[in-house]
């Protein structure tokens, strides 16, 4: 039995796939267009060195200072803007929240790249490689402080609770990264610990992004909590799918080498599930993961089979589906405005229902 690489049935709602993709793509593009001028104005305030590094990191410039090809998908700002709209506020209400979550996201990328020793991000040299560790630390620190500054300058009377949400979220993000680093030297990590780590690293900032606009809009607690749940569950589902793609993803789509997460012997969610619940197969997988050296392609395919036979693939796909549905339930039952709610639904499908 060989692992099925490339396309595989997407979890649920195959009928709406294309429509959701179109809507979500438009939402993300619109979000990016809206947030970019405000984000640029904020970054312009940084000290000279941090500004240069941040502009490069965000994809706005190349190393020689000439214009860059642009940055990532800007999912978090788009969610922040949608959450303000869903609560009935104008787009300008969500903008400081959108800028702030994107700054916090990039603060964490700058520091994580350094800590993880990653030399490239999106096929570009990382800041710490280019300018040194101290610059990556300081530029990240400055972006984190700037995020709070921008948020606290928002004209909204609800800027303080939004800033508090961002601070709590930042600590969650840090807890997740600390656990991730600690797990590297442990071989007894459980599924719950792994889910908790993902909740910190991925769930927390998506939850904050999907609710910060509504907080700035002064929405009732039931609505901001529903949006927070939506973001958290979408984040968890996204991470589960990402982990599936890290093993069975099509390199042509993911941009990562085939079986990449197994190549780096990463204790991802499906792998951890199979180790802890796969009996003898799980033990075999655990032993392989704990070994050293560069694995051959045959070994990688064998390891992927063990993850599948140990139930990791099926569990992760079902869990992603379950999380996505909880996100959809939360956001569609909160009495939010129908237009933005439909867009939040489309974004959830777009982020979770990927080919794997």
CA 231 to CA 227: how far, in whole Å? 6
CB of 192 to a second copy, least distance (A): 16
CB of 243 to a second copy, least distance (A): 22
Question: CA-to-CA distance for 213 and 31, rounded, in angstroms?
Answer: 13
Q: Rounded to the nearest whole angstrom, what is the least distance from the CB of residue 61 to a second copy in the complex?
A: 18
Q: How far is the CB of 238 from a second copy (least distance, A)?
A: 23
Nearer Cβ to a second copy (108/309): 108
**In the complex, minimum distance from the CB of residue 352 to a second copy, in angstroms, rounded to a whole number:** 28
78 versus 109: smaller Cβ distance to a second copy: 109
| Cβ nearer to a second copy, comparing 149 with 250 | 149
CB of 82 to a second copy, least distance (A): 24
* 12 vs 218, beta carbon nearer a second copy: 218
Is there a contact between 10 and 354 (Cβ–Cβ < 8 Å)? yes
The residue among 140 and 311 lying less far from a second copy, judged by its C-beta, is 140
Residue 180 CB, nearest distance to a second copy (Å)?
A: 10
Nearer to a second copy, 10 or 115 (CB): 115
Residues that bind a second copy (CB under 8 A): 45-47, 49-50, 107, 111, 114-115, 133-135, 137-138, 140-142, 144-146, 148-149, 152-153, 159-161, 163-164, 166-168, 170-171, 174-175, 177-179, 181-182
Task: Please say which residue, 34 or 177, places its beta carbon nearer to a second copy.
Answer: 177
């Amino acid at each position: 039995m060989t692992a099925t690489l490339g396309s595989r049935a997407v979890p649920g709602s195959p009928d709406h796939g294309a429509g959701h993709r179109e809507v979500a793509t438009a939402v993300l593009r619109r979000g990016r267009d809206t947030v970019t001028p405000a984000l640029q104005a904020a970054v312009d305030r940084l000290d000279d060195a941090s500004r240069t590094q941040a502009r490069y990191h965000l994809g706005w410039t190349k190393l020689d200072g000439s214009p860059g090809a642009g940055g990532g998908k800007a999912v978090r700002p788009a969610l922040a803007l949608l959450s303000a709209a869903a609560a009935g506020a104008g787009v300008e209400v969500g903008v400081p929240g959108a800028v702030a979550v994107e700054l916090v996201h990039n603060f964490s990328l700058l520091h994580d790249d350094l800590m993880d020793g990653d030399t490239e991000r999106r096929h570009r040299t990382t800041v710490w490689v280019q300018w040194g560790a101290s610059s990556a630390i300081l530029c990240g620190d400055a972006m984190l402080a700037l995020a709070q500054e921008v948020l606290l300058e928002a004209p909204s009377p609800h800027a303080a609770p939004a800033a508090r949400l961002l601070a709590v979220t930042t600590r969650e993000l840090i807890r997740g990264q600390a656990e991730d680093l600690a797990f590297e030297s442990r071989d007894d990590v459980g599924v719950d610990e792994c889910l908790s780590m993902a909740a910190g690293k991925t769930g927390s900032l998506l939850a904050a992004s999907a609710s910060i606009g509504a907080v700035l809009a002064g929405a009732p607690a039931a609505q901001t909590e529903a949006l927070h749940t939506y973001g958290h569950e979408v984040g968890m589902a996204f991470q589960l799918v990402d982990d599936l793609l890290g093993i069975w993803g099509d390199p042509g789509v993911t941009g990562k080498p085939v079986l990449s997460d197994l190549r780096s012997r990463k204790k991802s969610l499906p792998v951890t599930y199979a180790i802890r619940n796969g009996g003898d197969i799980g033990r075999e997988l655990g032993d392989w993961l704990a070994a050293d050296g560069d694995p051959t392609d045959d070994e990688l395919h064998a390891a992927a089979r063990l993850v599948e036979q140990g139930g990791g693939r099926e569990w992760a796909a079902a869990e992603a589906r379950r999380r996505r549905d909880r996100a959809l339930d939360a956001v569609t039952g909160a009495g939010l405005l129908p237009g933005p709610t439909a867009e939040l639904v489309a974004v959830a499908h777009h982020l979770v229902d990927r080919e794997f």
